[in-house]
Amino acid sequence: MPTVKDVARRAGVSPATVSNVINRKGNVSPALVESVTRAIEELGYRPNVLARGLRVSRTYTVGLVISDMLNPYFSEIAAGVERVCSGRGYTVLFCTTGDDKYAEAKHVQVLRDRQVDGIIVASTGAGNEVIEKLVADGYPVVLINRRLDGVEADSVVSDNVGGALQVMDYLVSLGHRRIAFVAGARDSLPSRERLDGYLRGLAKAGIMVDNDIIRYGYLKYSGGYEAAKYLLALPDRPTAIFAANDMMAIGVMDAVLEAGLTIPQDISLVGFDDTMLSSLKRINLTTVRQSYLELGEIATKMLLDKLSKRPGRRSLKRQVVPCSLVVRGSCAHVTAKTNVPGVGSAAPAGR
């Protein structure tokens, strides 16, 4: 591999001049620019980014910490991060934590050791000390869907509360008053926020909270399935079920069908996330759309903007990205309960 020296020799100039040509600095005469450029091409010279990084202590690399690449939410975030980075000459170094506190700490350290210019954390791992230390050390960090009170870390979160409120308004507008909520794990922030939106929606409509129709479970198909089994067996079963995410909603869906009931005639159902699943004709689930791609993009822009500014300005940025209700065919007006069952994919009464 040729180096600046080789190029310099071939062009009959000094390494410094070669460097100046490459970085368009220090006013080099057109003649030399020309010959250096030719030498670079002839030799197929490529700058060693490592050496440059060592010298200028800037690597144009962004570290990305996510929980799990197999989860579509995170891979969408990763896609957003990569898209913005690649457009601005940055590269992404990524690692996954499996939501393990120690893995998170370890990987953040690895990223620092590799001198990444900044770190984006989209992991729900509970290791707040890691983040606090990062910020305390003056490291540029942006948090996705994770917020630490009292810590000066920029963050971008989706408006889970607002999205859930939209769902509630919609269900209430369809005449539902007995609405169940199927939540994920109690320590999942998004799930908690969606639950919060649910509760606010109830309050807004003047509906009393019934803790018996708020179920907690694993944020997966099985969690929804089990919760629905319970809810459907209730003497006074709900007319609508709001699940904390799409996978759970699909679990609910199957349980409802197994009980011999129909969606949306007997039970209205809403999910959250607008996964690709929800749009399938056989699922056709009303849900809330949140673009995780966008979340990743926004976070990355925040970080890169920060990197290009003087380190002085320490303004704390907290961006909330809105969600939007996507109405499909899984909800009906509450009076539609009297409809003939069995049609399955009837158009929704709403809209």
The conformation of residue 346, written as its DSSP 8-state character, comes to P
**Gap between the Cα atoms of 106 and 112, Å rounded:** 10
What distances in angstroms separate CA 156 from CA 141, 171, 201, 311, 321, one per listed residue? 11, 28, 24, 20, 7
Kindly state the smallest distance separating residue 107's Cβ from a second copy, in Å.
Answer: 7
Residue number with CB closer to a second copy (65 or 171): 65
Q: Where are the alpha helices (DSSP H) in 186-238?
A: 189-205, 221-233
32 binds, among DNA, a second copy, none (CB under 5 to 8 A by kind): DNA
23 near a second copy, rule: CB under 8 A: no
Residue number with CB closer to DNA (3 or 284): 3
15 near a second copy, rule: CB under 8 A: no
Q: Which residues of 67-76 are buried (b: 16+ CB within 10 A; e: fewer)?
A: beeeebbbbb
Residue number with CB closer to DNA (34 or 254): 34
Kindly state the smallest distance separating residue 276's Cβ from a second copy, in Å.
Answer: 8
Question: CA 331, 337, 339: angle at the middle one, nearest 5?
Answer: 105
Tell me if the bond preceding 72 is cis, omega within 30° of 0.
no
Q: Find the binder of a second copy among 16, 54, 136, 234 (CB under 8 A).
A: 54
114 binds, among a second copy, DNA, none (CB under 5 to 8 A by kind): a second copy
Q: Are 146 and 158 in contact (CB under 8 A)?
A: no
Q: Are 11 and 18 in contact (CB under 8 A)?
A: yes
Kindly state the smallest distance separating residue 350's Cβ from DNA, in Å.
Answer: 60
Determine the interface stretch with a second copy among 26-34, 103-111, 123-131, 233-241 (rule: CB under 8 A): 103-111
Q: Is residue 98 classed as helix, strand or coil in its secondary structure? A: coil
Residue number with CB closer to DNA (27 or 211): 27
135 binds, among DNA, a second copy, none (CB under 5 to 8 A by kind): none
> Which residues in this chain contact a second copy in the complex, by CB under 8 A?
46-51, 53-54, 59, 61, 68-70, 72, 75-76, 78-79, 82-83, 86, 91-96, 107, 109-115, 221, 250, 253-254, 257, 277, 280-283, 293
